[in-house]
Amino acid sequence: MKRSFNPQQTAEFSQRHNALVKAICAAGFDHFVATTTDNIFYLTGATFEPLERPFFLIIGADGARRMLVPAMERDHMGKAWGIEASSVLTYREFPAPAGQGWAEQLLNTNLSASSFGFDDSTPLRVAAVLQKSGGIGADLIGELRIVKSDWEIGQIERAARYADWGVNEILRKAWNGASAAETYMPTQSLQRKIIREVADWDALATKVIAGAWPAPISAEPHSVPRLTDRLRSGPHVALVLTRVNGYAAESERTFFTQAPTKHERSMFNTIESARQIAFAMVRPGMECAVIDAAVNRFLGEAGFSDFQVRLHRCGHGFGLGNHEAPWIAEGSTHILQQNMVISIEPGLYEQAVGGYRNSDTVLVTADGYRLLTHAPLDIESLTLARTTLRHRVNSWVVGRALGIGDHIVHQQKELT
């Protein structure tokens, strides 16, 4: 399988390759072994699903590139940028007869006779073999990935537009009494939209998560709502995470399906004030830990000193993953640089009541920042007090399709 790359992509991969070779030489290595799917994708544009069979990209200080892959993937990896067919080495299978597995074939490349590094996030069973052969774990590629090129920023902007589209669809489908299942439906429509609109769509590098976390489960940000959980009053959180052809973004909004109380308005305004403090500090040269500390100090002075109410850091980075460096957190050693992409999302969580969190994908610019997501932010736009016939018909259709119709109808009767 051979893939063609346009001039912009070729220039991008060439720049990454040259930057890594420079980093390899600076670290004193003769070779570097990339083992993770994201890092190999970053350097070659090749997507794959390793399952239990590891893949290796070996780059020399002299710029030479080789891959070691399962035999069944040899032709498939012809799509990798910068890899000639003669440079794709193979191992038989996993597990394999003695002498034919990945460990033996990797050592046959003479790595152990040189000084080499490897991804420090390599799985333990692979890392143990590399360490035993003299390899040293290092984050050379992560240090390259943390600052985005203009081309990468364009890719993330595209993912951000789709994330906003998903949030707006969730808000359009939400109403007081809706099931969580109804708010999951934009996941399918967003996936179809991406497939239609992205000419070189890659299934292995594209993922969508979209839905509403109804109160009170919105106070558990990494839980998963049941299909039959329903939206009643609020605060609910609409969450959309997108990864489009390898590049990620997110858009999240707190919303209500009944008019918010004075207390709920105060909580909403507090997290927005905390976000404005963070935004005002976003610029090159700012320590990430200092941003989080300022937000935590503000929230503490506002009466939320218990970290169990705040639960998490102010933000994180985006790139090939929805969560990656830099970490906007106390304890982080990262310093913001131009063309980093981050989230700003401090939250407040009242157990058994609900959570408040708005998140945007944010580009660090030369003199500050630029929002890449633009979903509604004012509380009036995020108060969805109207229920229409379309909402009820959609609820019936979704319930029947998922086999939960009777349960949903019963819940709706309770609300009337």
Every domain of the chain and the residues it spans: 7-145, 150-410
Residue in the structure block whose two tokens are 């040293």: 136
Q: Does the CA dihedral 122-125-128-129 come out positive or negative? A: negative
Q: β-strands 324-328, 341-344: how paired? A: unpaired
Looking at residue 207, its pLDDT comes to 97
- The answer, yes or no, to whether residue 407 has pLDDT greater than 60, is no
- Calculate what percentage of the chain has a pLDDT beyond 70: 97
71: exposed, middle or buried (Cβ count in 10 Å: 0-12, 13-18, 19+): middle
Name the CATH superfamily housing domain 7-145: Creatinase/prolidase N-terminal domain (3.40.350.10)
HSE at residue 404, side-chain half, CA atoms within 13 A, is 17
28 contacts 115 by C-beta, under 8 angstroms: yes
CB 284 within 8 A of CB 366: yes
Question: 170-194 burial, b for 16+ CB within 10 Å, e for fewer?
Answer: bbebbbbbbbbbbbbbbbeebbebb
Kindly tell me the burial class for residue 199, based on how many C-beta atoms sit within 10 Å of its own C-beta (0-12, 13-18, 19 or more).
Answer: exposed
Query: Considering only 287-301, 307-321, 381-395, which range has the smallest mean pLDDT?
Result: 381-395
Find where tokens 């050693």 sit. 333
Q: Give the Cα separation of 218 and 249 in Å (integer).
A: 20
In the structure, what pLDDT confidence band is assigned to residue 412 with cuts at 50, 70 and 90?
Answer: very low
| pLDDT tens profile 69-87 | 999 999 999 999 999 999 9
How far CA 177 is from CA of 256, 384, 387, 392, 411, in Å, comes to: 11, 11, 9, 9, 8
Taking the C-alpha atoms of residue 380 and residue 66, their distance in angstroms, rounded to an integer, is 57
Question: Please, which pLDDT band fits residue 415 given cuts at 50, 70 and 90?
Answer: very low
> Alpha-carbon distance 28 to 32, whole Å?
10
- β-pairing, 136-138 vs 116-119, is parallel
CATH superfamily, domain at 150-410: Creatinase/methionine aminopeptidase superfamily (3.90.230.10)
pTM: 0.93
